[in-house]
Chain A
Amino acid sequence: MGRRTSTDEGSTLTPLMFQILVALSESDRHGYAILQQIEERTQGAFRVGAGTLYRAIKQLVDAGLMAEVDADGGHRQRRNYRLTDAGRDRAAVDARVFREIAAWADEARLGETEAGS
């Protein structure tokens, strides 16, 4: 936990927030596109509701990790979002954390147990 010194922020992002940032790192997207992308990449294992999604978006926008861009000419029901530089850095940091957690799980042979059961 002590390695997170590159930013001011404390603990890890939630998995959902992390995935939102990752989805946006590929391209600007609107809310539904973010959601579709997440569900596609996790093969539906990660189900996100609209309310939860926008709560997370709000927090990320407030924290300056992503920003609204009015690509559709201000069409309010489909606002596009873009990753900020801070967001990109933060996603990179958290990606490392998540990778290490995943590696740890592998070491603990969690995946095998699961496959075996």
Chain B
Amino acid sequence: MNRVAGLLILLFPPAFRLRYGSEVVGLLRDRAADVRRREGIPGMVRMWSFEISDLLRAAYAERRFGRRAGGGQDNRVTRRPGGAAGGVEPPRRRSVGGMMDELARDLRHARRTLARAPGFAAVVIITLALGIGATTAIFTVVDGVLLKPLPYPDADDLFAVYHRVPPLGADTVNHTSSTFLTYHDENRSFEQFGAWNPTEVVVTGRDEPERVDAVAMTEGVLRALRAQPRLGRGFSEQDTLPGAPMVVILTHGYWARRFGADEGIVGRDIRIEGQAAEVVGVMPPDFVFLGEASSLYVPLHFDRNAMPTVLSFDYRVVARLAPGTTPEAAAADLERLIPMSVERYAWLPAEQVQEWQLGINLRPLKESVVQDSGAVLWILQGTVGLVLLIACANVANLLLVRAEGRRREIALRTAIGASRGRLTRQFLVESGVLTALGALAGLALAYAAVPTMLRLPPAVLPRAGEIGVDARVLLFTLLISAVAAVVFSLFPIAYYGASDLVPALKEGGHGAGSGRRRHRVRGALAVAEVALALVLLVGAGLMIRSFQALRDVDPGFSDPGRAMIFRLALPAGDYPDEDRALAAYEAVIARIAEVPGVTHVGAISGLTMEGRSNQNSFMAQDVALGDEGEGVLRGAYKAMAGDYFGAAGIPLIAGRSITWDDIRERRRGGLVTETLAREFWGEPSAALGKQIRHSGDDPWREVIGVVGDVRDGGLRSAPRSVAFWPVIVEDFLGFDVWLRRDMAFVVRTDRANPFDVLPQVRDAVGSVDPNLPLADIGTLDRVVARNMASTSFILTMLLLAAGVALVLGTIGIYGVISYVFSQRTREIGIRVALGATTGDVRGMVLRQGALIGGLGVSIGVGAASGLARFLTAQVYGVGTMDPATYLGASLAVGGVALLASYVPALRTTAVDPLDALRR
């Protein structure tokens, strides 16, 4: 509390603050100590609420009256006789000061009025806090991810450069080393042109060996981003040349964590992938690389004299447009260079270039970083916007009900001379006070909610590091709050404006004055709430059905909860030849298999759904697909070792798996998935013994087994064709020997918690090589969960929104119905006196509820069917017009509407006719 006092002191004018600030704070501290001793916590609460309001008052008074011209004081101490006489307030003028006075008076009035109705104020504030809080929280994320420019100077000039291949329907194809080098060397449109590639490296030597995320890049990348290292230098062109000494740049976080922020690190060597690498730079703390969380940067090496002939689009390109160049001109410039790249490096047969109609696609860098998360975030922003609307409708309704109750007061004030403008201002101030309090509470909610959202995986939420409640967010909150306040105060203002206040005064605010029109406005607001709640419920329902559908998708492996996974890499420096690497893989797998509780263990180059999959073509010796010669299928290949299929729970349908002998003897054989087998040969068993390969230059390889399908592209996409090759393959895609140095290990256990065996697994790996770190430890279950993260995120948010909407809608209907019928007590009394039964009266009330519910549901269904198309990309296994969902949501909302009117119905029938008539 003392800190709060310290802040409030800041409200005083500086002169006062300097003279007495510390004394005031000191006094408050002494007093707080005394009060606490004598009266305990309740006394403290009383004291602080008194002192805080006193500080606010005194600060206002000091600012307003504290300094007068001529150095004199406002008041009685030095006032000369015959000076301005008497009055406490200065003469009223239409000046800023005068307006401040009026505002202060309105504020005081508002405080008093609201203090007299604490229940009303609390409901309004909580309602607004929910609406404003949710909207602010999502806006914080939307702003950080979608709206803010990337954190680089002149970020609008930055572009991601892709190839376009119209016949394949692809427009974000990356670069081969050949295209990159040609464009890099010859373009005339870019200031900087850099290639990069996310990767992982093992850092050894200090402490535990560690596998870290890294980015391999050419010198142009950091230069394009205009990122200056905090210490040392960036990469130079020399660093990327073949045979250049290995260098490394550390990110600030990694430098601080691993090297204790040692300022003398530049120039020293660390060991990366078993090789010495000199630290040449350390990045500043606020630098983020394109949303990639990485620990260090290493140079990409290109050898212009020994370019790979394999067609592999591995490199991403970021480029800064030269001043005065348009993106269109730059794209044309690069397209001009495509034939030159083919001529120079022969990376693609010339006729293929024609066939592919290869072109260039420049995409603003931000778009390429943010990717698809935009759709999800805008959906959520829309969702919480609806919640805010419902909240406003609810508040408007509450204000109207209250306005009704205050007709007499208003009529009286009008009668004694309050102008309409004055009353309007008074209402605006009241709404403003309520909104301000609601917005404050909402901000607190948002502040608490944002960190929870940041735990989402980067595929759902890129740029997470740049998200936070900042000045822009505060401004946004201020704006929506102001709009909300104006919108819902219009209702009571319009109400008073339209109603004739004289009867109110005459009749004591009772009876005939409560006209149908006003009931209609309130009814319309309740209908709107029901309709909006239905829209949200339909959205939530569609996502629930998608979630269920995804849950039911067979990921291809069984019982993933019992399979532990981790990644392991064999650095080229420590394992220079493939026989040693193979021996290490075999030893690691054999040792892990000996651990008690482990039933199967194997390794794979890319786990299903992990997004590390490659795109390749398949040809079968004996099958002609399409027009000419060998057929071509698209799919991925993976490298495996050990009992991967057993460990992942992928069923073997025909044939056998790859043995260590197969690998050691470099036998040309592998397994294919059921889909691939069916595509080529119609039946899994027919595939055995057949020959396939990826490119015309490779030798044929035999299919020795067929396994069940895996959902390699994620749960939403159909199973792809996949071939599984041994971890070491000869004459493969242009490589003499191709060895995967980086494998994901899958360890199946008979334990409910597979991590029980983790310590022994660590020991087993350590007994083979103490320098091998285990990375990305998890379970197969988590891979599935991560794949569903975006769906479950939208689902959770929509469910939350729909829940809040339902609660608010219920309050709205309940409020309207019970108020309308409390006004009609007299009428009901007469009806009962004339012989209406309990059932008649209840029916009357329920009919009113059903009318609101029914209208709301029909409008809501219409609105939902219009809005549901925004969910098209997010739903799975269910149409956006799914009748069951609409029906379910309508029944739920309709039921809630009836329930909300049932309680008032019960109460109405308790009316004693005589009593009602006497009133």
CB pair B23 A76 closer than 8 Å: yes
CB pair A14 B76 closer than 8 Å: yes
Of the candidates B22, B54, B66, which one forms a contact with A77 in the assembled complex, judged by CB atoms under 8 Å apart? B22
Interface size on A, residues (CB 8 A): 31
CB pair B77 A35 closer than 8 Å: no
CB pair B20 A13 closer than 8 Å: no
Of the candidates A10, A50, A53, A77, which one forms a contact with B76 in the assembled complex, judged by CB atoms under 8 Å apart? A10
* A107 → B minimal CB distance (Å): 23
Check: B480 CB closer than 8 A to any chain A CB.
no
* B205 → A minimal CB distance (Å): 56
CB pair A49 B55 closer than 8 Å: yes
Known: A9-B79, A11-B79, A13-B76. A52 touches B57 (CB 8 A): yes
Please report the C-alpha to C-alpha distance between residue A37 and residue B50 in the assembled complex, in whole angstroms.
19
CB pair B28 A50 closer than 8 Å: yes
CB pair B31 A55 closer than 8 Å: no
CB pair B73 A35 closer than 8 Å: no
CB pair B81 A35 closer than 8 Å: no
CB pair B77 A54 closer than 8 Å: no
Check: A57 CB closer than 8 A to any chain B CB.
yes
Interface string of B47-82 (1 = CB under 8 A from A): 000110111111101100010000001011111111
Interface string of A1-35 (1 = CB under 8 A from B): 00010001111111001000000000000011001
CB pair B76 A32 closer than 8 Å: no
Check: A51 CB closer than 8 A to any chain B CB.
yes
* A106 → B minimal CB distance (Å): 24
Chain A residues numbered 61-117 whose CB sits less than 8 Å from any CB in chain B? 62-63, 65, 76-79
Of the candidates A9, A13, A49, which one forms a contact with B51 in the assembled complex, judged by CB atoms under 8 Å apart? A49
Closest to A7 in B: B81
Check: A41 CB closer than 8 A to any chain B CB.
no
Please report the C-alpha to C-alpha distance between residue A18 and residue B81 in the assembled complex, in whole angstroms.
19
Known: A50-B28, A54-B24, A58-B20. A11 touches B76 (CB 8 A): yes
* B430 → A minimal CB distance (Å): 26
Check: A60 CB closer than 8 A to any chain B CB.
yes
> A-B pairs with CB below 8 Å: how many?
97
Check: B19 CB closer than 8 A to any chain A CB.
yes
CB pair A52 B54 closer than 8 Å: yes
* B55 → A minimal CB distance (Å): 4
Question: B78: which A residues are within 8 A, CB to CB?
Answer: 9, 62-63
Question: B20: which A residues are within 8 A, CB to CB?
Answer: 54, 57-58
Check: B776 CB closer than 8 A to any chain A CB.
no
CB pair A51 B77 closer than 8 Å: no
Check: A59 CB closer than 8 A to any chain B CB.
yes
Interface string of B97-108 (1 = CB under 8 A from A): 000000000000
Q: Which 10 A-B residue pairs are closest in the complex by CB-CB distance?
A: A49-B54, A51-B58, A77-B26, A10-B79, A63-B77, A51-B55, A11-B76, A54-B20, A32-B27, A10-B81
Interfacial residues, chain B to chain A (CB-CB below 8 A): 12, 16, 19-20, 22-28, 30-31, 50-51, 53-59, 61-62, 66, 73, 75-83, 86
Interfacial residues, chain A to chain B (CB-CB below 8 A): 4, 8-14, 17, 31-32, 35, 47, 49-55, 57-60, 62-63, 65, 76-79
Sample (27) of A-B pairs whose CB atoms are under 8 Å apart: A8-B80, A9-B76, A9-B77, A10-B81, A13-B76, A17-B76, A17-B77, A32-B27, A49-B51, A49-B58, A50-B27, A50-B28, A51-B12, A51-B24, A51-B55, A52-B58, A54-B16, A54-B27, A55-B16, A55-B58, A55-B61, A59-B77, A63-B78, A76-B23, A77-B25, A78-B23, A79-B23
